[in-house]
A and B are shown apart, each in its own frame.
Chain A
């Protein structure tokens, strides 16, 4: 249950991108000017009616928004307890919430006169969503992807290439999402004049965590309205999976000041939090600085980032968006973790009981909802 006494949660970040002690701009000097240019444009276009109208039209006619809220009646009955509603971001064009953000950032890139788009991707969903909007806007697109992820997410690699993107394998470090992010940053530093870097989650240096949140908050705005229409009330609890945390913040953000709504972010416990093989920085990490922001990290006692483990490539990241770190510390959201096996069980349950095949990432949220519902 919420424990903080804050009046509002909508006053973050501050002008320099801090969510309490988290967030900020921790990058090499070579990126500072580009981030400033991005921040100024983002602030400007967020108030620009023509930009917002184009974004809304694209979200409606290209993405297919609003996505439905579905009452999982059979599954709710089986679990016993709370009624479970699913916000069906899987029904968006490209099959995930990622496109809400890539549409927004790509429109911004176009306004800023950039001709080349780069992105990092883990599971490949963000890469596909980026390649999709780049194709539509006729922009060159390069996607960095860890060599390990390229193997385990082959289908998405194929889709990105079909869409005309160049997928560059990243062979450094752990060869997963964090290394892809490093490599994309390096590309950006080198090609800063013509290149726009579309970060796929609410991490990275300011303004990315705030900007990606603002583009993803459509999830929660719709859900808040849909719940009032369909259930006649706000939900008692929100549950979303957290890797970097963009779908979660998108759902949570519009509800932050609704004090009656409990908020749960679900991290990947992998083989179990006590095994060390997991991707749960909020549950089992500690604050540090990586990828341009201060946040909770998975690190060793020397401050080196450690390899994460999750059955789901999209949650396999050693950091987390700084706003989640802040929400955890001020008690507005609770962060929990479920194991690979629990997520798999929920995956099969939803598939067999509701006829909806969820992503492995979302299956973590489902697994926690299945634990929570009977207690409510």
Chain B
């Protein structure tokens, strides 16, 4: 069983939902990423989504885009990110790590080489934002062949048979983008999300994570009532940005934010 499947199984047994924080690797500098990952796990993160910096993050809002720019100022590459995961694994063999990013850095390395190196470093899954299942005919076998899950997005505009197509290609969990827009946008409609999740559940038994628009303990708790996992990104990355000049303060600040979310989610009846 993959690390992600095992994680969701144990959470289900405890009647809890997964909390999945996102940070961009190398932001604001490469040295702080691994300590941040450990601190997030201590604060209650179940799975970590690690952003791979890209020069042209088309699907991201300004907050995560600036995070990429800060990381790229230190030339944080995909290979560097794999090294960070390897370093994280020295003290943590349990928490799944999902790489989230864009296709081009993977293309440069080559699908097969990337998948082998990622699996070897201790990565559990890849969420490649700009590759829909229709174009993933070569990437998928490479990932799956090395035991990596392929996470795909489902959007509010995804309808009908496309949901099935995506679920069939997906493994680990599926990621529902809870609103129209880029990462970091506002206005979240929980009832609308619930309705869509029911539709998705008729196509798959995979757990469903919900992200885009979750910014505090209250929204995290509300979404965790209807989803299997709550993904928090821009809210954390905003903190990283605010503390970029005092990097030592970042891990504790993120831990505090996540602990609040964890508590609110677990307090759900």
Interface residues of A (CB under 8 A from B): 16, 24-30, 32-34, 172-173, 178-179, 182, 185-186, 189-193, 287-292, 297, 299, 301-306
Whether, in the assembled complex, B158 has its beta carbon less than 8 Å from a beta carbon of chain A, the answer is: yes
Interface pair B108/A288, CB less than 8 Å apart: yes
User: Across the interface, which residues of B come within 8 angstroms of A172, CB to CB?
Assistant: 62, 65-66, 69
User: Across the interface, which residues of A come within 8 angstroms of B130, CB to CB?
Assistant: 26-28, 289, 292
B132-156 Cβ-contact flags toward A at 8 Å (1 or 0)? 1011000000000000000011110
A290 to B79, CA, bound (A): 20
User: Across the interface, which residues of A come within 8 angstroms of B180, CB to CB?
Assistant: 30, 189-193
User: Across the interface, which residues of B come within 8 angstroms of A33, CB to CB?
Assistant: 155, 157-159, 162
With both chains docked as a complex, state the minimum distance between the C-beta of A178 and any C-beta of chain B, in angstroms. Answer: 6
Number of A-B contacts (CB under 8 A): 120
Given contacts A186-B61, A302-B75, A304-B55, contact A32 B162 (CB under 8 A): yes
Q: Given A25, A191, A193, A290, which contacts B134 in the complex, CB threshold below 8 Å?
A: A25
Given contacts A33-B162, A292-B130, 16 further A-B contacts (CB under 8 A): A26-B131, A28-B130, A29-B154, A30-B181, A178-B56, A186-B61, A190-B185, A193-B180, A291-B58, A299-B108, A303-B104, A303-B107, A303-B108, A304-B55, A304-B105, A305-B56
Whether, in the assembled complex, B54 has its beta carbon less than 8 Å from a beta carbon of chain A, the answer is: yes
Main secondary structure of the interface of A (DSSP, over half): mixed
Q: Which of B172-212 contact A (CB under 8 A)?
A: 177, 180-182, 185
Q: Nearest 8 CB-CB pairs, A to B?
A: A303-B108, A303-B105, A28-B59, A33-B157, A302-B77, A29-B153, A190-B181, A304-B55
Interface pair B78/A192, CB less than 8 Å apart: no
Interface pair B177/A29, CB less than 8 Å apart: yes
B185, closest chain A residue (CB)? A190
Interface pair B105/A302, CB less than 8 Å apart: yes
User: Across the interface, which residues of A come within 8 angstroms of B55, CB to CB?
Assistant: 173, 304-306
Interface residues of B (CB under 8 A from A): 53-59, 61-62, 65-66, 69, 72, 75, 77-79, 102-109, 129-132, 134-135, 152-155, 157-159, 162, 166, 177, 180-182, 185
Given contacts A30-B59, A30-B180, A182-B58, contact A302 B108 (CB under 8 A): yes
User: Across the interface, which residues of B come within 8 angstroms of A193, CB to CB?
Assistant: 180
Interface-central residue, A16, A289, A303, by most chain B CB under 10 Å: A303
Given contacts A303-B78, A303-B104, contact A173 B153 (CB under 8 A): no
Interface pair A192/B135, CB less than 8 Å apart: no
User: Across the interface, which residues of B come within 8 angstroms of A173, CB to CB?
Assistant: 55-56, 69
Interface pair A304/B162, CB less than 8 Å apart: no
User: Across the interface, which residues of B come within 8 angstroms of A191, CB to CB?
Assistant: 180
A289 to B75, CA, bound (A): 20
Interface pair A29/B166, CB less than 8 Å apart: yes
Given contacts A33-B159, A178-B56, contact A28 B65 (CB under 8 A): no
Interface pair A25/B135, CB less than 8 Å apart: yes
A301 to B106, CA, bound (A): 11
User: Across the interface, which residues of A come within 8 angstroms of B131, CB to CB?
Assistant: 26, 289
A34 to B181, CA, bound (A): 13
With both chains docked as a complex, state the minimum distance between the C-beta of A31 and any C-beta of chain B, in angstroms. Answer: 8
Q: Given A185, A192, A292, A305, which contacts B157 in the complex, CB threshold below 8 Å?
A: A192
With both chains docked as a complex, state the minimum distance between the C-beta of A240 and any C-beta of chain B, in angstroms. Answer: 26
User: Across the interface, which residues of A come within 8 angstroms of B158, CB to CB?
Assistant: 29, 32-33
User: Across the interface, which residues of B come within 8 angstroms of A29, CB to CB?
Assistant: 132, 152-155, 158, 166, 177
B175, closest chain A residue (CB)? A29
With both chains docked as a complex, state the minimum distance between the C-beta of A129 and any C-beta of chain B, in angstroms. Answer: 23
A30 to B178, CA, bound (A): 10
